[in-house]
Amino acid sequence: MRSNDLAPYWMPFTANRQFKKAPRMLVSAEGMYYRADDDRQILDGTSGLWCVNLGHSRPEIVRAVQEQVATLDYAPSFQMGHPLAFEAALRLRSLLPDPLGHVFFTNSGSESVDTALKIALAYHRARGESMRTRLIGRERGYHGVGFGGISVGGISGNRKQFAAMLPGVDHLPHTHNTKENAFSRGQPDWGAHLADELERIVALHDPSTIAAVIVEPMAGSTGVLLPPKGYLERLREICTRHGILLIFDEVITGFGRLGGHAFAAQKFNVIPDMITMAKGLTNGTIPMGAVAASDAIFDAFMTGDESAIELFHGYTYSGHPVACAAAIASLDLYQTDNLFARAEKLAPVFETAAHELRTANHVIDVRNMGLVAGIELAPREGQPGARAYETFVRCFENGTLIRVTGDIIALSPPLIITEQQIDELFAAVRLALRSVT
């Protein structure tokens, strides 16, 4: 494409002018690999954007989508139903921990987050506690880009351009501390006490004003921050004690990323009142998200006049038939490939390979769990983020897709990765770091 042809597309979360001078274009994908427009094979170290957990272009999903679009291309989602939406919810329910028995469909992680926040507010109101309007997020949290999501989110770069935020939002401190926890494997030992900050916030505002706490059980987009041992348990205990809903944003951690289980809630054995998800739900093939809510939340709405709409919320494409077909095919594959167990089995190999980067240039921390690793670099003086960005470009030139955020490299390959490909992935990062100053 000529450079003028690139102008109309306003790219998301991208330095548009820099990109269009030297575009990186992907044109096809299969299994563990992308193909670039110059016909180079690119090892996918990031599952696209944390979503292609099953690997690319799985024939079963392709077929399900093709057949569905030719059978029922679209069906209205308000006051009408189609069987696949009910089936997708039923299938998803079988992966969810009790008592998360109900599923509301959205089209993205951002919509899932805003939906969950709205359900939290409406839930308290339905129970006669309409004073509970405050929402608590966490510093460095990423909850998508809707106004709800950026308000409870804690990445300042995503907030500062937009003055308008939801009122009545407060934030927990983040849990990152390289002095205490550098090079930790799995959950770090230090930091459970940071959950007690919630007690301080609750005391400040009074529990009767607080609707919900939302956190990523493992903060992904900010650069892979694992929850300290005991931290999530304490959040759960404080929320329960004060009648505050706990929401886990599992848009990244859902569908086996941390190994052994579908969701981080199960991995950490801490069950929230709602889980938000997207990405791996359809393996990234068709946009789709969902909110799983507890039976108690759902039941609070199912009272009064049966002819009244219980929740004034929904999207034209909630439970879109083609997205549902992709979700059902993906959930089938997670099961038939036994992929959550596979991720757990590969995790020690991945961990060892990740921590071998300890000796690579610029590396000041490595942290990991399941098939995700964060590799933090010392920033170049006066140029934060430059070192990681250059590493990303070098890797791409050498045939590997990694992801960087600030000066942190985040690796999260499809769960079908082989041991040899794990070695290749980390070798590519080491090689790139060797040539970055």
The neighbouring-strand residues paired with 103 are 292
Closest approach of ligand PLP to the CB of residue 220, in Å: 5
Closest approach of ligand PLP to the CB of residue 405, in Å: 10
Closest approach of ligand PLP to the CB of residue 369, in Å: 15
**Closest CB to ligand PLP: residue number:** 109
Cβ proximity to ligand PLP: between 68 and 110 the closer is 110
Residues, the chain: 437
Sheet holding 169-172, edge to edge: 102-106, 289-293, 274-277, 245-249, 210-215, 134-138, 169-172
Nearest alpha carbon to residue 3 among 18, 14, 38 = 18
Closest approach of ligand PLP to the CB of residue 109, in Å: 2
Cβ proximity to ligand PLP: between 217 and 357 the closer is 217
Cβ proximity to ligand PLP: between 251 and 416 the closer is 251
Closest approach of ligand PLP to the CB of residue 79, in Å: 26
- Amino acid at position 49, single letter: L
Q: Are 46 and 375 in contact (CB under 8 A)?
A: no
Tracing tokens 């933090």 back to the chain, one arrives at: 376
Cβ proximity to ligand PLP: between 277 and 363 the closer is 277
Cβ proximity to ligand PLP: between 276 and 391 the closer is 276
Cβ proximity to ligand PLP: between 126 and 215 the closer is 215
Q: Contact positions toward ligand PLP, by CB under 6 A?
A: 108-110, 113, 142-144, 216, 220-221, 249, 251-252, 278
Q: Is 405 helix (H, G, I), strand (E, B) or coil?
A: strand
Closest approach of ligand PLP to the CB of residue 39, in Å: 29
Q: Are 285 and 68 in contact (CB under 8 A)?
A: no
The neighbouring-strand residues paired with 291 are 104, 276
- Amino acid at position 223, single letter: G
Closest approach of ligand PLP to the CB of residue 194, in Å: 19
Structure tokens at 205: 């505002």
Q: Which helix (H) or strand (E) holds 109?
A: helix 109-126
Cβ proximity to ligand PLP: between 84 and 116 the closer is 116
* Separation of CA 360 from chain center: 28
**Cα(87)–Cα(346) distance, rounded to whole angstroms?**
31
